[in-house]
Structures are given as C-alpha cells and as structure tokens.
C-alpha cells in the first residue's frame, strides 16, 4: 500500500485516472490497526484494478479535514479523482470487499 500525504495526495488520488482506495487511519485507533492487515490483503487481491493507499491523519490532519474525514476508521474510494463511496466506523472487511466489487 502506498503512503499518501499532503505532498502527494492531489497527484496520487485527485488527479489519478481510475480507482483509488484510501484508508484514513491513526496509530492510536485500535480498530484502524486491526483493519489494516485485512486492507493490505485486499490491496494484493485487487492490485491490478485499484490503487490502494493510506493516510495517517495524525501527520496529515488538514488533509483529512479537507476530505471530510470525521471518524476513524474511514475508507474512501475515488474514481477519476471524485469520491465514489465512503465507509466510516462500523463496517466489516466483507462490507469493504462488496463495495470494491460494486465499482469494478
């Protein structure tokens, strides 16, 4: 998974053609830390169809606020730079996989 931050987010996500999944997380967020290995598995499974990356909101607070991330964990799917869907807080890995498959 790629590391997105304030310096590369616009180029890697907003200006990107195709699908980009962004995992907004924090090292202090236990659900985020539990979810991350599962997201990394999905990144491997869908690597030919979706670009996967993550944003540490502690280091990129303004970026997270700019993307209207209000709770953690939050995963947002972008298509051609536009937000397609967002999952926040109470969701399962199965929910995430279903959402990914729906936009392919």
Active site residue 32: yes
Which among 19, 29, 63, 75 is annotated as catalytic?
A: 29
Pick from 5, 1, 39, 19: which is nearest to 102 by CA? 19
Which among 32, 39, 57, 72 is annotated as catalytic?
A: 32
Active site residue 29: yes
Sign, CA torsion 79/31/57/54: negative
Phi-psi region of 100 (alpha: psi -120 to 50; beta: other; left: phi over 0): alpha
The residues assigned a catalytic role are 29, 32
């Amino acid at each position: 998974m790629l590391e997105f931050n304030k310096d590369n987010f616009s180029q890697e996500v907003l200006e990107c053609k195709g699908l980009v999944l962004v995992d907004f997380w924090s090292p202090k967020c236990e659900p985020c830390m539990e979810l991350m290995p599962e997201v990394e598995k999905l990144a491997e499974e869908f690597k030919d169809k979706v670009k996967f990356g993550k944003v540490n909101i502690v280091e990129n607070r303004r970026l997270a606020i700019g993307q209207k991330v209000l709770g953690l964990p939050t995963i947002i799917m972008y298509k051609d730079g536009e937000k397609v869907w967002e999952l926040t807080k109470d969701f399962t890995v199965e929910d995430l996989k279903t959402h990914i498959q729906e936009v392919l």
